[in-house]
Amino acid sequence: MRIPDLFQQRPFCLSIEIFPPKTTAGDEALFETLRRAAAWQPGFVSCTYGAGGSTRSRTVDLCEAIQQRFGLTATAHFTCVGSTREELLSWLNEARARGIHNIMALRGDPPAGQTEFVQVEGGFRHARELVELIRDSFPEFGMGVAGYPEKHPQAPDMATDLRHLKEKVDAGGHAVFTQLFYVNDHFLRFRDDCETLGITCPIVPGIMPITEFARIKRITSLCGTEFPAPLAARLEAAQDDPAAQFEIGVEFAIAQCQQLIDSGVPGIHFYVLNRMDACDRILQSLTWPGRK
């Protein structure tokens, strides 16, 4: 089912994001994660796409497995990094031929070792161009685009970032899925600003449960995400106790997600890092529209 249809038919659309493992053991662990995820009947499972297209074929392989092996709708991440227009069209043709009907259209991060995005000759520089290509050449695809409640790290200011988001939506994006955040007020302000600009598609908060404080500190420092000082203090006090960190993270995520649900979000997009332990605990504790 396409992304816009999912949000039209469901009062609340849960989605889960995974990434391609690098080993056979990682694949088996991921399949167990997908088995557990299927019990929650997510609207879709998305699979990321490595920097510079490094997991391009693996993304399609896993999306095919998500649909055929687990009966779930897959969404393939797709970037314009390091690819010409013709190469992008070839990948999209393959995805369609293998039964994929949803794309998360992203500009993408520079390949390892590079700090700046470099447009290849015959390629694209902006996600909006990728959205336009998909809209014009594959209008049957559902499309998600990225939003940044605390601004993209490379954007000069929030107003510019919001303008770029509106361009992506106007070009054909069906729903916005946000970068992770830990302060709900940032998301709620972002949602209000989007509405003021005339962005009317679903705006879905992206949530990464905290299971390991050191990892989250690295991630938030890279993407410029504010981390609440009281939460950081609790996690610092438990830095030598992984089980305690996990419990603190789950407790925080339950409260964060329930507040977002109560504020009327159309769904939640969980970055599960290929493990369902925290997500299972969180979902067991939440109440959302349509939950049986």
Nearest CA among 46, 44, 41, 56 for reference residue 6 = 44
Token duo for residue 267: 């769904």
Counting every residue written for the chain, the total comes to 292
Task: Convert 40-53 to b/e letters by CB count within 10 Å (16 or more is b).
Answer: eebbbbbbbbbbbb
User: Which residue out of 17, 129, 132, 150 is catalytically annotated?
Assistant: 17
Say whether 17 is catalytic.
yes
DSSP-derived letter for residue 51 is G
Cβ-Cβ contacts under 8 Å for 90 (sequence gap 6 or more): none
The residues, ordered by sequence, that sit 6+ positions from 259 with a Cβ below 8 Å of its Cβ are: 184
List phi, psi (to 5°) of 219: -65, -45
In angstroms, the CA 56 to CA 58 distance is 6
Cα–chain center distance at 2: 16
C-alpha pair distances (Å), 57 with each of 48, 108, 122:
11, 16, 21
Sorted by sequence, the CB contacts under 8 Å of residue 281 that are 6+ apart come out as 250, 254
Q: State the DSSP H helix or E strand holding residue 268, giving kind and residue range, or none if neither.
A: strand 267-271
Are 94 and 120 contacting, i.e. CB atoms less than 8 angstroms apart? Answer: no
d(CA 215, CA 260) in angstroms, rounded, equals: 24
Query: Residue 268 pairs with which residues in a beta bridge?
Result: 14
Which residues are part of the catalytic machinery?
17
